[in-house]
Amino acid sequence: MATVTERRDRRRAKAALAHAKSAEKEAKRLADGLPPGRAKQRLEAIVAQSRATRRAAKADRTRAPRRAARTAARATAGLDAWSRRVVPSTARRGAAAEPGAAITDAAAAAKRRAALLKQRRKQADRVRKWAKSAAAHTVVQAVTTPEEPAPRKRRR
């Protein structure tokens, strides 16, 4: 029969693995949103490496739950670090002030990093949408010429 500590460690390992999986999903979505190129290929390779690390940690969860939690957190940290490099610089203004590495519990750190990945992906999407809309407005303004306004109808 497992002790209270062992059960707690297994629960934490399970949570860390779940957060690592969600971080992989967010990183994959971030990679899918990138234009084709070296950064996209590199991030997809990091996601694949993280997936392999997470699967190894999952296999190790029953034998060594603390090690599995650390391994899952390490995989999530790698995704976190690479997502910082990929996101445009305008979207990561508060990157230095982000908490996450200071958290000691592996499951909590993995959860925080997964949330940060999601936040960075959404920021990158906003930057991309803003650039597209700014380009569209510029094109419309360049194409249309200002004309005299049509005479207004008189209202009684």
- pLDDT number for residue 50: 92
State both tokens at 86.
């990929």
CB < 8 Å & 24+ apart, contacts of 101-108: 101/77, 105/12, 106/12, 106/13, 106/16, 106/66, 106/69, 106/70, 106/72, 106/73, 107/12, 107/13, 107/15, 107/16, 107/19, 107/69, 107/73
Q: What is the pLDDT of residues 30-70, one digit of tens each?
A: 888 888 888 888 889 999 999 999 999 999 888 999 999 99
Q: What is the pLDDT of residues 94-149, one digit of tens each?
A: 544 444 444 457 777 778 888 888 888 888 888 889 999 999 998 888 887 667 67
The pTM (predicted TM-score) of the whole model is 0.60
* Residue at 43: amino acid letter: L
